[in-house]
Structure 1
């Protein structure tokens, strides 16, 4: 059975394996609070401000990008952490609550909420698909005829695995430990605690880390009492907060962009869930506020906006309550590692039907809208083309080819150094350098570099 003493392990990998001391002192902060600060001030966090959430290259500053989305997930996670530490301490932590729960738990959840999308490539989930498709088209060229072991991490490239790689290896402070986060934070960041070799046999839909980070993951599991296929309990909470953020807040952005209206959401939910108690409770409260706003002389757009804001408030409140109820009910199975691979807090809660209906609304009105599809197609083409050009630089490294030399030099010096020092096979480390380079770019920088290289490549 898992225990919180290990799960909240505030030790850092550098303290166990390094030769030097951790940079600076805590200055009154607990170690898990320092993790949040390290993530907040990291360069990849700032880059998320120019990465797609739903709408690529969005010019309306009110519409969310990856950074605003991540801050909102972090805020939701921290709020739930406060409730767990103060209102559900005995139910969740029991006799294992000797640590500084009131400070550690909200800080840890805030940290993993902020970090959860750090490794996502430009142009959102379409960017992941574009990277996967490039490797599928070029598998033989990159990996050879029979090297299926090396290729799996890239044919199924995923931003979650890239996030773990980024914070443990790519984001350098002054050594090779990445951001040198605590074991507790690293363990709870692993949304999919399996490798590509075990995905199917253990029933998970994707891998959560690359072969290159296998040793780090095993060290993290050893220090937190976890093992392959077993999630940290707070991973479920972070996942639920991410789901809330995109289910409800993406819908708010859809209305903000005038793609749909508050009335469209009301009609959709009434059609999908006429008898669901939580759905009807949220709608009743939101429609009551909408009626008040109609009497305030607002314009149709203002009415839409403020009505959606109140819908957001009521929806999030109901979903957070459902998450907490579900966690309290299922905590024993979670601590025993007995939840199935597809288990989520929201889907096992009283908010399940509401979430399913909202996901469908977001898909129909947002993710499949013509404007989104058009820009995703552009993004796909940009990523595919820039991977072609960067691969020339990587595969012809050291050869007498001026374009190859230039393209290789345009890759981050830090990434090139890690590539040189990698102990993975030659094919693997070359593929990983390409994935590192592309996934680290922002939307606008990828377009800029694409155009620059294309002009030189001809």
Structure 2
């Protein structure tokens, strides 16, 4: 087997000094950089599922990211122990894998726009229309640059945020380690190469904008990557485990799903003929029924408590499945030839699919769709205003355009003015950087002010 040490180098784009008193490993240092960043703080007002929610129970992007970080650390510890015991990883590297995954879990959604995944679709839709009607702008961009906008993705924006959009002392942004940056890139290809049903999961979407293509190339060379960085599979599993079950928990709290609905999905999705041996032994249908019946009838939130207890068991089950599958395919993963989703290819694939189907059922609820439409319209409106402002060559002639330009975050404007080529591509990115960096309520407030509603 390959030595895993090669994937745990502490290289950064700019060298970073640590004092002798600082006993953290380099990836724990990254963790602290993220925790104290403004982009991470803004996740507290970004949608996970329930947009513009007034309650304090349902998850936001911030709480979801903390949960992914926790799960990632747990998975990393289990994988690390196996690799060390097998002689694949040096004992002196102990602690590095869980630290990388904990940090990557914190940042994996840091580039997501307001209003959840519907915010991504709103940006994509806007630019498809924009390029169809603005031929001059379309002709000024390469096909790959156009695709960066019409296939906009929050995970790709995350890589850009970490590399370019945190001005601290120079153009290197947060200056995180290559290992953490590599972990968040799920699809190691450009927007022109990805977004296709061909090529397995590695080409399903894309991983970096043209503006950061050289950065990713440096990272890929450092680790001799021909596919995904190995720990990306584990981060993806942690993310799937976190949201697939937690979304159901939140939906119960909101009253969007009941006991019989959950039980029906379990019964239909866990047919005995298709189950793995481990899934049969777990007997999730009986387990869920027993957990529900064990809660006292006098307890007001009976279903919520049963689902919370069920979540604990299922998460533990899926973590074990992800660890086993990763270790079983370690040679392919290190060689870059493994091209499957860990959980879908594991002995937990059926229970994972049940929760995925349950999630789709919840997302189709009227209350969620109504707020998604609101978010969609807000983002379209803001893009209309700011794209016109940044793409116009008449900033000094039209009194509205310079005013809108000056409303963009001074941090983003400084980065654009000092570290970009001022091309149309860079100007359009400036508008998208600003809007995708907004929180849900900030975007709503901007919309209401511009429309004269308040």
1:51-450 paired onto structure 2 within 5 Å: 51-91=46-86, 94-101=87-94, 103-139=95-131, 140-141=133-134, 143-145=137-139, 147=141, 148-199=143-194, 200=196, 202-203=199-200, 204-227=203-226, 230-275=227-272, 276=275, 278=279, 281-294=283-296, 297-299=298-300, 302-340=301-339, 343-364=340-361, 366-396=362-392, 398-424=395-421, 426-450=423-447
TM-superposed deviation, 1:97: 1.7
Given that 2:144 and 2:191 are in contact with CA atoms closer than 8 Å, whether structure 1 keeps it comes out as no
CA contact (8 A) 2:144 2:210 kept: no
Matched, 1:46 2:45: no
Q: Structure 1 61/87 Cα, relative in aligned 2: closer, same or farther at 3 Å? A: same
Q: CA deviation at 1:2?
A: 6.2
TM-score scaled by structure 1? 0.91
SS, match of residue 114 in structure 2: coil
Which deviates more, 425-434 or 81-90?
Answer: 81-90
Q: Is 272-281 or 174-183 further displaced after alignment?
A: 272-281
Cα separation, partners in 2 of 1:23 and 1:336, compared to 1, 3 Å: closer
Question: SS of the residue aligned with 1:312?
Answer: helix
Work out whether residues 31 and 103 of structure 2, in 8 Å CA contact, stay in contact via their aligned partners in 1. yes
RMSD: 2.1
The CA distance in 2 between the partners of 1:96 and 1:86, in whole Å, is 9
Alpha carbons 1:121, 1:159 under 8 Å: kept: yes
Cα shift at 1:39: 1.0
Relative distance call for 1:168 and 1:26 in structure 2 (3 A) is farther
Q: Distance in 2 between the 1:308 and 1:197 partners?
A: 42
1:293-335, CA deviations, whole angstroms, 9 ceiling, x for partnerless residues?
136x323xx1111101111011111111111111111111111
Q: Which residue in the other structure is 1:18 paired with?
A: none
CA contact (8 A) 2:156 2:207 kept: yes
Contact 1:74 1:113 in 2 (8 A): yes
Gaps spanning 5+ residues in structure 1: where? 16-20
Post-superposition offset of 1:441: 0.3
SS at match of 2:14: helix
d(CA) in 2 for partners of 1:76 and 1:149?
Answer: 35
Are 2:4 and 1:11 equivalent residues in the alignment?
no
In 2, Cα distance between the equivalents of 1:2 and 1:374?
Answer: 51
Q: 1:335 to 1:321 in 2, by over 3 A?
A: same
Q: Quote the Cα distance in structure 1 between the aligned partners of 2:199 and 2:413.
A: 34
Q: How far off is 1:431 after superposition?
A: 1.3
Rounded to whole Å, the distance in 2 between the matches of 1:425 and 1:90 is: 52
Task: Tell me, in whole angstroms, the C-alpha distance in 2 between the residues paired with 1:71 and 1:215.
Answer: 30
CA distance in 1, matches of 2:20, 2:417: 32
Other structure's SS at 2:451 match:
helix
Residues 77 and 110, structure 1, Cα contact 8 Å, conserved in 2: yes
Alignment coverage as a number of residue pairs:
441
